[in-house]
Amino acid sequence: MFLIFALITLVGAVALVLQRNLVVAGLCLVLSFMGVAGLFLLLLNPVAAALQIIVYSGAIVVLLLFVIMLLNEHQEEPAQKARPLQRWVSAAVILVLGAGVVKLVAGSPVLRRLGGGSAPAPPAMTLGGLGDALFSGHLLGFEVAGLLLLAAMVGAVALVKRDL
């Protein structure tokens, strides 16, 4: 199961990078998010999976697609000037990073120790449990997040208004 969701996530991501059409790219993003939601389920966290689908795929990607439609530019514009240096160096950096990451993860003793499946699986996350934790121990963070959302909203409106 894990392998399936992991592949969905990664393939969606790769497809996103290689896609020319913006709308299709947005849909690939949705696919990737779905994969991630599946991974969350496997991590015994249905709350997170639900939130992932509701907020990320349902709200943020929708907003993104709104803007794409608004600007009405579905294809990426042809480049003003082909810049092979950037492209090739980026590719090199990505490959190096990728290889390094794999090597790191495979060779890390910490992860091996932590990932040793001797401990019994904890209980799945419940919404009640999350709510309890959120409103008791992390109340301040919750309030600040609310303020942050307010600020972002005001800011977004202010940036987009034509005249104040």
Restricted to residues 138-157, the positions that interact with another protein (CB under 8 A) are 138, 141, 145, 148-149, 151-153, 155-157
Contact 30/57 with Cβ under 8 angstroms? yes
Closer Cβ to another protein, 137 or 164, answer by number: 137
Name the β-bridge partners of 21.
75
Of 77, 140, 163, 164, the one binding another protein by CB under 8 A: 77
Site map for another protein, 89-128, x if CB under 8 A?
A: xxx-xx-xxx-xxx-xxxxx--xx-xxxx-x-xxx-x---
CB 55 within 8 A of CB 36: no
Q: Are 42 and 5 in contact (CB under 8 A)?
A: yes
CB of 164 to another protein, least distance (A): 14
Centre a 10 Å sphere on the Cβ of residue 30 and count the other Cβ atoms it contains: 19
Q: How far is the CB of 124 from another protein (least distance, A)?
A: 8
Determine the 3-state secondary structure of 44 from DSSP: coil
Amino acid at 134: L
Distance, CA of 23 to CA of 5 (rounded, Å): 23
CB 159 within 8 A of CB 81: no
Name the token pair of 126: 């419940």
CB of residue 38 vs another protein: minimum separation in angstroms?
11
Taking the complex as a whole, how short is the minimal distance between the CB of residue 21 and another protein, in angstroms? 10
**Is 69 near another protein (CB under 8 A)?**
no
The binding track of 14-53 with respect to another protein, each residue x by CB under 8 A or -, is x-xx----x--xx--x--xx--x--xx-xxxx-xx--xx-
Please identify which residue in 69, 87, 140, 164 interacts with another protein, judged by CB under 8 A.
Answer: 87
